[in-house]
Chains A and B, each alone.
Chain A
Amino acid sequence: MYEGAVQDLIDELGRLPGVGPKSAQRIAFHLLAADPADVKRLVTALTEVKDKVRFCRICGNVTEQDECRVCRDPRRDLTAICVVEESKDVVAIEKTREFRGRYHVLGGAISPIEGIGPDDLRVRELMTRLADGTVEELILATDPNLEGEATAAYLARLVKPMGLRVTRLASGLPVGGDLEYADEVTLGRAFEGRRQVDV
């Protein structure tokens, strides 16, 4: 145990995801030794993130304005919505530059153990967005784990009566990898989702 402020800092850092007691201690001492201006910048960044950042009125993505950058962009395709669990998934998909539609960030996945049901996610907002008939395709891009699959299946059932095209991201082999290194589940899925080769 350290005295007062140092221990407080270690405790606070230790509560962050992915930071254990040893890392917390290392970061704390790094900050102690760092230039005061650098620490100031970090403090400002931390305060600003809480003050300025909000959630997009339309899709729920993080933004500093009323609407996020994707929703503000007039070139985006309004007929497709890609549903993701978290804002960081938006960033991941944006990097691909494959998708030109807009997003919908649910804020998690259905998990009864953690007490998360559809009402705790931004499902109602999604239904409102789909109501006016502009959207033709809904892409379900929740995580390929049990809870993500359950969320996708739930949404698929929910929007079925609306008659729009509902798709799910494919799961399968990583590009540039070797077949032999794929685990059985992934390889099995890749077999299930195999495609006709067009020549």
Chain B
Amino acid sequence: MHVSALSLTDFRSWAQLDVELTPGPTALVGSNGQGKTNIVEALLYVATLGSHRVSVDAPLVRQGAERAIVRARVERDERTTLVELELNPGKANRARINRGAVPRAREVLGLLRTVLFAPEDLTLVRGDPSARRTFLDDLLVARVPRLAGVRSDYERVLKQRNALLKTAFLAKRSGGGDMRTLDVWDAHLAKTGSELLAARLGLVDDLQPLVEVAYREVSKGQGDVALGYRSSLGEGMPQSQDREVLAAALLSELARVRQNEVERGVSLVGPHRDELVLTLGSMPVKGYASHGESWSVALALRLGSYELLKSDGGEPVLVLDDVFAELDTGRRERLASLVQGAEQVLVTAAVPGDVPEQLMGGRYDVHDGAVVRVR
């Protein structure tokens, strides 16, 4: 698939912007602060209904404006879909598909798929486990949009359960304590948690071989990367990926740690405590890998995601946001040749020299609130 037109109204720094895009590689070049990343951010918002830079919508709306509008024309298998999103911070966002309103903005998920490479990807490898969980969950939703609902249900269950544990903790200190409703939230957590867990386990299995191949290509065959899933169930983690087996395991582990949970006032078991473990050879990547190796692993995760989404049908649009400036010459060249055959690649860079020759297809200059096609 590719995006043939993108239009922004009051999105970030852009009061109004309309760009026509073509398949193949396209570079957006402009100095820092001109709004290149804002353009690709809008595109990613259409794909994921979220920003990779901020967790709330308010900063996405231009200062002084009430709402922002993003329109993207998506071409897939010779079909054209116009996706329009209206961002209303603090209220529900509205969406239209081919000019028809849809009941929930969530319906647009899956119409556009993207894979983003960004300087922040290094935190995928070096950062907290939460960065890797988010990586997995974002990819899950890109593959199966229905899981967006499971993911948000799980977060809500967790919030409710943690709120209950906190009050239970305080009540216990003052001598009372009501644990009767905790059983109910345990059951909810096991049900939604097992669904999320089963989906993640399946994803890691599918992703592993693709990331392996990508790592070998990016790093020129130095070492082997492996993905592993470490569950908060620990010893109690079943071999099976069956949802009911996983739910039963979660329930029994919750029962085992209950005392501890009540004392600490937080949920200690569930997919929110799990970790995607990355290893290089026999060493964990985090803490042991060099800067270059870490980058190779990060790139391999993104390339693997791209291959996975492509194999599901519906090749994603690749977005490389300021990423080449971070890489050494060898990785830069290899990444460029790996992605140049994709249906659509958008590259942003501060200077033209940061865009590899292979990816210098179309070129736009972003300057002083305008985007001008120069090639």
Give A118 to B164 CA distance when docked, in angstroms.
12
Given contacts A147-B160, A183-B104, contact A153 B153 (CB under 8 A): no
Q: Is the CB of A146 within 8 A of B157?
A: yes
Q: Is the CB of B187 within 8 A of A113?
A: no
A85 CB to nearest chain B CB (Å): 16
Give A119 to B180 CA distance when docked, in angstroms.
11
Contact with A along B63-85 (1 / 0, CB 8 A): 00000000000000000000000
> B184's contact among A115, A157, A183, by CB below 8 Å, is which?
A157
Is A99's CB within 8 Å of the partner chain B?
no
> B188's contact among A118, A150, A157, A184, by CB below 8 Å, is which?
A150
Least CB separation from B163: chain A residue: A112
Q: Is the CB of A119 within 8 A of B178?
A: yes
Is A185's CB within 8 Å of the partner chain B?
yes
Given contacts A119-B178, A146-B156, A146-B160, contact A110 B184 (CB under 8 A): yes
Instruction: For A157, list chain B residues within 8 Å (CB).
Output: 183-184
Q: Is the CB of A118 within 8 A of B178?
A: yes
Residues of B within 8 Å of A, CB-based: how many?
Answer: 21
Which residues of A, 109-128, contact B by the 8 Å Cβ criterion? 110-113, 115, 117-119
Q: Is the CB of A146 within 8 A of B181?
A: no
Is B135's CB within 8 Å of the partner chain A?
no
Contact with B along A141-173 (1 / 0, CB 8 A): 000001101100110011000000000000000
B120 CB to nearest chain A CB (Å): 31
Is B202's CB within 8 Å of the partner chain A?
no
Instruction: For B200, list chain A residues within 8 Å (CB).
Output: none
Least CB separation from B152: chain A residue: A146
Instruction: For A110, list chain B residues within 8 Å (CB).
Output: 181, 184
B261 CB to nearest chain A CB (Å): 14
Instruction: For A117, list chain B residues within 8 Å (CB).
Output: 164, 167, 178, 181
Q: Is the CB of B178 within 8 A of A146?
A: no
Contact with A along B177-203 (1 / 0, CB 8 A): 010110111011000000000000000
Least CB separation from A158: chain B residue: B180
Least CB separation from A155: chain B residue: B184
A176 CB to nearest chain B CB (Å): 17
> A111's contact among B146, B149, B160, B188, by CB below 8 Å, is which?
B160
Q: Is the CB of A149 within 8 A of B178?
A: no
Give A146 to B158 CA distance when docked, in angstroms.
11
Q: Is the CB of B153 within 8 A of A150?
A: no
Q: Is the CB of B180 within 8 A of A118?
A: yes
Instruction: For B161, list chain A residues within 8 Å (CB).
Output: 112
Which residues of B, 35-80, contact A by the 8 Å Cβ criterion? none
Least CB separation from A156: chain B residue: B184
Instruction: For A183, list chain B residues within 8 Å (CB).
Output: 103-104
Q: Is the CB of B178 within 8 A of A113?
A: no
Least CB separation from A153: chain B residue: B184
Q: Is the CB of B156 within 8 A of A154?
A: no
Give A161 to B157 CA distance when docked, in angstroms.
27
Give A111 to B103 CA distance when docked, in angstroms.
26
Instruction: For B188, list chain A residues within 8 Å (CB).
Output: 146, 149-150, 153
B226 CB to nearest chain A CB (Å): 34
> B164's contact among A112, A158, A184, by CB below 8 Å, is which?
A112
A19 CB to nearest chain B CB (Å): 14
Least CB separation from B153: chain A residue: A146
Give A149 to B157 CA distance when docked, in angstroms.
11
Give A153 to B188 CA distance when docked, in angstroms.
10
Is B373's CB within 8 Å of the partner chain A?
no
Give A117 to B163 CA distance when docked, in angstroms.
11
> B181's contact among A115, A149, A150, by CB below 8 Å, is which?
A150
> B180's contact among A113, A154, A184, by CB below 8 Å, is which?
A154
Q: Is the CB of B160 within 8 A of A150?
A: yes
Q: Is the CB of B163 within 8 A of A113?
A: yes
Is B159's CB within 8 Å of the partner chain A?
yes
Instruction: For A118, list chain B residues within 8 Å (CB).
Output: 178, 180-181
Q: Is the CB of A113 within 8 A of B160?
A: yes
Instruction: For B187, list chain A residues within 8 Å (CB).
Output: 153
> B146's contact among A146, A150, A184, by CB below 8 Å, is which?
A184
Instruction: For B184, list chain A residues within 8 Å (CB).
Output: 110, 150, 153-154, 157
B40 CB to nearest chain A CB (Å): 29
Residue from the set B149, B178, B184, B188 with the largest chain A CB neighbour count within 10 Å: B184
Give A153 to B160 CA distance when docked, in angstroms.
15
Least CB separation from B144: chain A residue: A184
- Name 11 interchain pairs, CB-CB below 8 A, sorted by A: A110-B184, A112-B181, A113-B160, A118-B181, A147-B160, A149-B188, A154-B181, A154-B183, A184-B149, A185-B146, A185-B149
Other than the given A118-B178, A150-B160, A150-B184, 13 more pairs (CB < 8 A) read A110-B181, A112-B160, A112-B167, A112-B185, A117-B178, A118-B180, A118-B181, A146-B157, A147-B160, A153-B184, A154-B183, A183-B103, A183-B104
- Top 9 nearest A-B pairs (CB, nearest first) are A112-B164, A112-B163, A184-B146, A153-B184, A113-B163, A154-B184, A150-B184, A112-B160, A154-B181
Q: Which residues of B contact A (CB under 8 A)?
A: 103-104, 146, 149, 153, 156-157, 159-161, 163-164, 167, 178, 180-181, 183-185, 187-188
